[in-house]
Amino acid sequence: MLLLAAAFIVAFVLLLYMVSPLISPKSLKLPGAHVVVTGGSSGIGKCIAIECYKQGAFITLIARDENKLLQTKKEIEKYSVNDKQVVLCISVDVSKDYEQVENVLKQAQEKLGPVDMLVNCAGTSVTGKFEDIEVNSFERLMAVNYLGSVYPSRAVIATMKERRMGRIVFVSSQAGQLGLFGYTAYSPTKFALRGLAEALQMEVKPYNVYVTVAYPPDTDTPGFAEESKTKPLETKLISETSSVCQAEQVARVIVKDAIQGNFNSSVGSDGYMLSILTSGMSPVTSITEGLQQDAFVELYGNNMRPLFDFSWISLKTILSLVLVGACITLGAYLGHK
């Protein structure tokens, strides 16, 4: 009887792994593909551009500062894998004027062909206590981080749907998964990206277009260095519970997940836990991902949340601790007998 049950479980798991590729999207091929990276002249965006270039893609970098763009172009070109590869630079503010963004993307597509993958990485942050942050910072962050991702995506989506292929990446943040002290202006802009991504993914999935939301932890970049100068002590202390990552590593993970068409992209073990905890009703791109969420949501949720919200311990935590205690006691008792 036990053997039969075990055999059944093994067969079931094997079956899940076999059908898994049927519901997962086909991987995007980067060699020869046209990848557009906003915020591609610095930090995570630059590393994403390098990672794609190394894999044979043609790159369009979008940012405001022309000198930084040209410098980055030179840096990226060192990694070429064939002599046809091109790095195109476009100087534009992604948050100001939709028509301008649409125009420059049209130009880029005339030169390098339709966009296969758009990475919305241009973004910035301001930290401080709610009452200390200038009101116009709330507006500026929403414009750059949110609208600055809407505009380029809106400009390429029609062609992607027509071609029945494409990838759109939104670079959110761990601070887009949970609100933290000091991030009242920044977190909401990163939460907003997830709402956009979920709604958009539902619209474009029938057209074989896949959306990825990346939730990086603190990452060693020029933007992070700038942010750290004025970060409140509380924010620093809380953030230190999660380690600072290298931009290269974050970029590798994002590119891999985008190619595979995974909806969620997280880095590291606490990134993984946070993504499971906050998965909610977001799209599930593989059966194994769904199973992991089912298995771990309660476990992490009951035991991690109170550690995070320092002021209270939930009834659920007490219950689950009592349960764990009861199991151990029972186990010891049975073992003893």
Ligand X SMILES: NC(=O)C1=CN([C@@H]2O[C@H](COP(=O)(O)OP(=O)(O)OC[C@H]3O[C@@H](n4cnc5c(N)ncnc54)[C@H](OP(=O)(O)O)[C@@H]3O)[C@@H](O)[C@H]2O)C=CC1
Ligand Y SMILES: CCCCCCCCCCCCCCCC(=O)[C@@H](N)CO
Contact between 257 and ligand X per CB under 6 A:
no
Contact between 171 and ligand X per CB under 6 A:
yes
Interface stretch with ligand X, choices 35-43, 254-262, 265-273, 327-335 (CB under 6 A): 35-43
Contact between 122 and ligand X per CB under 6 A:
yes
Distance separating alpha carbons of residues 182 and 165, to the nearest angstrom: 39
128 binds, among ligand X, ligand Y, none (CB under 5 to 8 A by kind): none
CB 290 within 8 A of CB 281: no
Residues recorded for the chain? 337
Contact between 222 and ligand X per CB under 6 A:
yes
Considering beta carbons, is residue 64 or 161 the nearer one to ligand X?
Answer: 64
Encoded tokens for 279: 């998965």
Alpha-carbon torsion (66, 111, 79, 245), positive or negative: positive
65 binds, among ligand X, ligand Y, none (CB under 5 to 8 A by kind): ligand X
| Active site positions, annotated | 172, 186, 190
CB 153 within 8 A of CB 204: no
Considering beta carbons, is residue 155 or 214 the nearer one to ligand Y?
Answer: 214
Contact between 173 and ligand Y per CB under 6 A:
yes
Encoded tokens for 112: 């390098």
Binders in 106-145 for ligand Y, by CB under 6 A: 125
Considering beta carbons, is residue 58 or 215 the nearer one to ligand X?
Answer: 215
Considering beta carbons, is residue 180 or 211 the nearer one to ligand Y?
Answer: 180
Q: Which amino acid, residue 182? A: G
**DSSP letters of 106-164?**
HHHHHHH-S-SEEEE-------B-GGGS-HHHHHHHIIIIIIHHHHHHHHHHHHHHHHT
Q: Binder to ligand X among 48, 63, 150, 169 (CB under 6 A)? A: 63
Q: Binder to ligand X among 33, 41, 105, 192 (CB under 6 A)? A: 41
Interface stretch with ligand Y, choices 23-31, 83-91, 139-147, 239-247 (CB under 6 A): 239-247
Encoded tokens for 65: 């500062």
End-to-end CA distance of the chain, in Å? 25
- In angstroms, how far apart are the furthest CA atoms of the chain? 78
Q: Binder to ligand X among 25, 28, 45, 257 (CB under 6 A)? A: 45
Q: Binder to ligand Y among 45, 128, 152, 223 (CB under 6 A)? A: 223
How far, CA to CA in Å, does 287 sit from each of 15, 167, 250, 253? Answer: 11, 20, 24, 20
Q: Binder to ligand Y among 304, 314, 317, 320 (CB under 6 A)? A: 304
Here's the x/- map for ligand Y, 311-330, by CB under 6 A: it reads as --------------------
How far, CA to CA in Å, does 52 sit from each of 48, 113, 258, 303? Answer: 6, 16, 11, 39
Contact between 73 and ligand X per CB under 6 A:
no
List the beta strands (DSSP E) in the chain: 34-38, 58-63, 87-91, 117-120, 166-171, 209-215, 219-220, 245-246, 264-266
Contact between 220 and ligand Y per CB under 6 A:
no
CB 279 within 8 A of CB 43: no
Contact between 218 and ligand Y per CB under 6 A:
yes
Binders in 143-162 for ligand X, by CB under 6 A: 144-145, 148
Considering beta carbons, is residue 25 or 148 the nearer one to ligand X?
Answer: 148
Contact between 271 and ligand X per CB under 6 A:
no
**Residue 137: closest CA among 146, 125, 148, 147:** 125
Binding site for ligand Y (CB under 6 A): 125, 173-175, 180, 217-218, 223-224, 227, 239, 241-242, 270, 273-274, 277, 300, 304
Binding site for ligand X (CB under 6 A): 38-39, 41-45, 63-65, 68, 93-95, 121-125, 144-145, 148, 171, 173, 216, 218-219, 221-224
